[in-house]
């Protein structure tokens, strides 16, 4: 089922947490809401869930205006970071809980069968009789997902579901979640502040800043064409150099870069550490001196300082031989210019 948010606003007392957000989530799509802490992600998710009500705008589930429909009637399943399982119930009882209290009555045999199917789906077959305290954190979140799916939700809402787990478990779980999504095709909204998680998982990433959408697109679109300097910085390591634009050209040190469409005045030239080549040719780039070379498993990270004092970090192959104190030129392979 598709979900549509139309200029949704939420204010807490005098503080506006969500500023007229409009968003279309297609049926079966997995959309990630990505943004720094306090950008309004959870508030938007809670309004879609019906746990919080919008004070402006509308939320549609398919053709139905869901804006004022209470949470129990929305047909949503949730998994939250700290949405604890019932500790005194077994895994199977936790999964069965929603089905037992639902308005849709099922026989015990039916419920047991569904619990077994869900345990198999979340790859926990055989663990139904354990208690939450007897399984790992990653397994608990898989049980939480099974519990959310048990009531056949129309929409699945996930708020940092893997936030409390360590990096390797998180990575495994997001690949696993994506394959479950591909199998079931439930419209899913996923909140995270972790860029890699959003890019790995989602069909579409919606980037928020201060309660507003600053960009939305496929992972490829937001990575390759960041809408502004905030998005570029938020998505990954970024270097910045001051530039001056005049007549469609941006000058940085002795280098000139194409600056079509930019007005005359100051600008920022941003680039990724991976988009640099170290050169001995002054016509190729911005002059710099190497400060340190740090080893990484598959590369080296070079810290350097330009002649105007800006520290630039870039990545090179492990064979890179330049050392501390050496001077050269930073060739920027994919320069991006932004103005306020």
- Binding-site string for ligand ATP from residue 63 to residue 92, where x marks contact by CB under 6 A and - marks none: ------------------------------
For residue 17, state whether it binds ligand ATP (rule: CB under 6 A): yes
For residue 161, state whether it binds ligand ATP (rule: CB under 6 A): no
Q: How many residues bind ligand ATP (CB under 6 A)?
A: 12
For residue 37, state whether it binds ligand ATP (rule: CB under 6 A): yes
For the bound state, the minimum distance from the C-beta of residue 210 to ligand ATP, rounded and expressed in Å, comes to: 9
Residue closer to ligand ATP by CB (options 39, 67) is: 39
Selected range binding ligand ATP among 23-31, 36-44, 69-77, 170-178, rule: CB under 6 A: 36-44
Residue closer to ligand ATP by CB (options 231, 288) is: 231
What number of residues does the chain have?
340
Whether 195 contacts 235, CB under 8 Å: yes
For residue 41, state whether it binds ligand ATP (rule: CB under 6 A): yes
Residue closer to ligand ATP by CB (options 37, 168) is: 37
The single residue among 4, 35, 49, 314 that binds ligand ATP, judged by CB under 6 A, is 35
Does residue 63 sit in helix, strand or coil?
A: coil
Q: How many CB atoms within 10 Å of residue 221? A: 14
Rounded to whole angstroms, how far apart are CA atoms 158 and 81?
8
Task: Give the residues across from 161 on adjacent strands.
Answer: none
What is the per-residue burial (b if ≥16 Cβ within 10 Å, else e) of 120-131? ebbebeebbeee
Residue closer to ligand ATP by CB (options 12, 53) is: 12
For the bound state, the minimum distance from the C-beta of residue 52 to ligand ATP, rounded and expressed in Å, comes to: 8
For the bound state, the minimum distance from the C-beta of residue 206 to ligand ATP, rounded and expressed in Å, comes to: 12
Residue closer to ligand ATP by CB (options 156, 290) is: 156
For residue 15, state whether it binds ligand ATP (rule: CB under 6 A): yes
Name the nearest CA neighbour of 188 among 157, 145, 165, 149: 157
Handedness of CA 33, 39, 41, 44 (dihedral sign): negative
For the bound state, the minimum distance from the C-beta of residue 8 to ligand ATP, rounded and expressed in Å, comes to: 12
**What DSSP state is assigned to residue 333?**
S
Strand order in the sheet with 311-316: 276-279, 327-332, 286-295, 300-306, 311-316
- Binding-site string for ligand ATP from residue 186 to residue 205, where x marks contact by CB under 6 A and - marks none: -------x------------
Handedness of CA 108, 114, 116, 118 (dihedral sign): negative
What is the per-residue burial (b if ≥16 Cβ within 10 Å, else e) of 27-48? eebbbbbbbeeebbbbbbbbbb
The single residue among 25, 30, 39, 231 that binds ligand ATP, judged by CB under 6 A, is 39
Interface with ligand ATP (CB under 6 A): 12, 15, 17, 35, 37-43, 193
């Amino acid at each position: 089922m598709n979900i549509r948010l139309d200029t949704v606003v939420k204010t807490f007392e005098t503080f506006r947490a969500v500023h007229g957000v409009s968003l279309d989530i297609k049926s079966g799509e997995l959309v990630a809401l990505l943004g720094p802490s306090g950008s309004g992600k959870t508030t938007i998710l809670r309004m879609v869930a019906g746990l919080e009500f919008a004070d402006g705008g509308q939320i549609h589930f398919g053709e139905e205006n869901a804006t004022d429909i209470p949470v129990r009637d929305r047909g949503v399943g949730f998994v939250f970071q700290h949405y604890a399982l019932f500790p005194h119930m077994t895994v199977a009882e936790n999964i069965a809980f929603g089905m037992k209290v639902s308005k849709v009555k099922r026989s015990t045999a039916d419920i047991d069968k569904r619990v077994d199917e869900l345990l198999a789906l979340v790859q926990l077959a055989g663990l139904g009789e354990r208690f939450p305290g007897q399984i790992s954190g990653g397994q608990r979140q898989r049980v939480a997902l099974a519990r959310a799916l048990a009531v056949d939700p129309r929409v699945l809402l996930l708020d940092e579901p893997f936030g409390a787990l360590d990096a390797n478990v998180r990575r495994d779980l997001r690949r696993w979640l994506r394959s479950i999504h591909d199998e079931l095709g439930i419209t899913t909204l996923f909140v995270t502040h972790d860029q890699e998680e959003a890019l790995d998982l989602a069909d579409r990433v919606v980037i928020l800043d201060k309660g507003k959408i600053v960009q939305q697109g496929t992972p490829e679109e937001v990575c390759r064409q960041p809408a502004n300097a905030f998005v570029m910085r938020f998505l990954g390591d970024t270097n910045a150099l001051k530039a001056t634009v005049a007549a469609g050209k941006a000058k940085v040190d002795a280098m000139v870069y194409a600056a079509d469409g930019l007005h005359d005045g100051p600008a920022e030239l941003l680039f990724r550490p991976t988009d640099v080549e170290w050169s001995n040719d002054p016509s190729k780039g911005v002059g710099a001196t190497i400060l340190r070379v740090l080893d990484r498993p598959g590369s080296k990270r070079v810290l350097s300082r330009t002649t105007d004092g800006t520290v630039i970090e870039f990545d090179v192959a492990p064979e890179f031989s330049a050392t501390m104190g050496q001077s050269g030129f930073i060739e920027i392979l994919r320069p991006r210019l932004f103005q306020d």
